[in-house]
A = this chain, B = another copy of it.
Amino acid sequence: MNYSYVSHLYCPKCSKTYSTEEENHLCTCGSPLLVDYKLEELSKALAPGDLVNRQPDLWRYHELLPVKSEENKISLGEGMTPLVEFPSLGGDMNIPHLLMKDEGIIPTGAFKARGAAVGVSKAKELDVKELAMPTNGNAGAAWSLYAARAGMSSTIVMPIDAPSITRNECALSGANLFLVNGLISDAGKIIAKAAEEKGMYDVSTLKEPYRIEGKKTMGLEIAEQLNWQLPDVILYPTGGGVGLIGIYKALNELQQLGWVSPEQKLPRLVAVQSKGCAPIVEAWKEGKHESSFWENSETIAFGINVPKAIGDFLVLDALYETDGCAIAVDDKDLLEEQKQIAQLEGSFVCPEGAASFLAARQLRKENWIKENEQVVVLNTGAGIKYPDTVDIEVPILEPGDSLYR
């Protein structure tokens, strides 16, 4: 029984294959690479019931991850985040079977930890000593902290407007941290140049093939937590879209393994964006398979401020293949939704998560989501990472004061 059933890397565009035994980034054709597994072999060796005794973290699916030797595993206990029923909010939006997958309950407080854990572990297996990446904040925080745990150094460039707490995380990890007076695309150019000059391992979104594998565990967990019965709809706040690509990949692998029956229809996947940065929504509306660069993008949901995602075609394919859709929401309504979620369900979600709940509400109104459908919304991070989105005024008392006079 192998620790990993990884087989090889392949290009989803031109089908060229690559080895997982050496550093590989993009295909020669420019496309991101995906990881393939020996699923038929694995289906004979492992059954869902075998997972029961394993730790409640994402490494419980190690056969479906690319790390071959357990000793390369770099973990802070990430994964198996709660899947929580939201009956009150669900009642309010007339979706009785509404669930939240809460990716705030994970090291670094954001789903980025999954990609970082698996990506850094694989980088260690490939003997990488130094990695580099541009980030909107949370990914840089996660990768630099996991890199530190692996004894690897890291160079991070983030926009000056990225959430300030993520700066602290990078800096505290000992990363070489730089801010750029621009967008993540500007940060990306600086990193690409530096990586080339210094031979650093570039782990920019999808320039590194293993981050998806970490993120796909969200899909594996949703399936396991629902006892291998898939929900009807999954909504995902979409910037780079790696999480959505990963969930789609996971569901397909589970079908191929026979862990979910092939008669089960895959959930309709929904890419949620902000009206201030909606390239995927625009492309989907026009039935296109690639998006165009979104000029002057702006949204308070900073994690989904990605004007052009390198994996856009994979996101769009996942939407088309599952009869899903893409939808953009208003920033101002999003903050109202965030408040509703806290007051009805006691959860302080991040703006990106709030955007996805708001999208569910809109899609229910349009009857795209039917009343009795089971709907899973991904909250991709903890609201506490974005203190500035909450605007409050609080009365101040002196010692000895009384609340009621």
Contacts and interface: CB of A to CB of B under 8 A. Distances in A.
Interface of A: 52-53, 56-57, 74-78, 80-84, 88, 102, 104-109, 145-151, 155, 157, 160, 164-165, 167-169, 171-174, 177-182, 186, 189-190, 193-194, 197-198, 338-339, 342-348, 382-385, 387, 390, 392, 394-404
Nearest to A402: B193
Given A76-B82, A77-B84, A105-B77, A399 B181 contact: yes
A397 B181 contact: yes
A342 B397 contact: no
Contacts of A145: 342, 346-348
Contact of A399 (B78, B171, B178, B182): B182
Nearest to A174: B343
Nearest to A177: B394
Q: How many copies does the complex hold?
A: 2
10 contacts: A104-B107, A105-B106, A148-B346, A155-B403, A164-B387, A167-B392, A169-B384, A172-B392, A180-B401, A190-B401
A79 to B, nearest CB: 10
A107 B342 CA distance: 12
B346 A190 contact: no
Given A76-B346, A109-B382, A347-B76, A395 B186 contact: no
Contact of A385 (B148, B193, B197, B384): B384
Nearest to A197: B404
Nearest to A106: B105
Given A77-B84, A168-B387, 15 more contacts: A76-B82, A77-B82, A88-B151, A109-B109, A146-B346, A147-B346, A148-B343, A155-B403, A164-B387, A165-B387, A172-B348, A178-B396, A180-B397, A194-B403, A194-B404
A339 B83 CA distance: 33
A138 to B, nearest CB: 10
Contacts of A342: 145, 148, 169, 172-174
B102 A165 contact: no
Contacts of A402: 190, 193-194, 197
Contacts of A165: 384, 387
A394 B76 contact: no
A397 B343 contact: no
Nearest to A395: B178
A119 to B, nearest CB: 13
A57 B150 CA distance: 28
Contact of A390 (B107, B171, B189, B194): B171
B403 A190 contact: yes
Shortest 8 CB-CB contacts between residues of A and residues of B = A77-B82, A149-B346, A56-B56, A186-B399, A171-B392, A168-B390, A145-B346, A172-B342
Given A56-B56, A149-B345, A155-B403, A178 B76 contact: no
Contacts of A382: 109, 382, 384
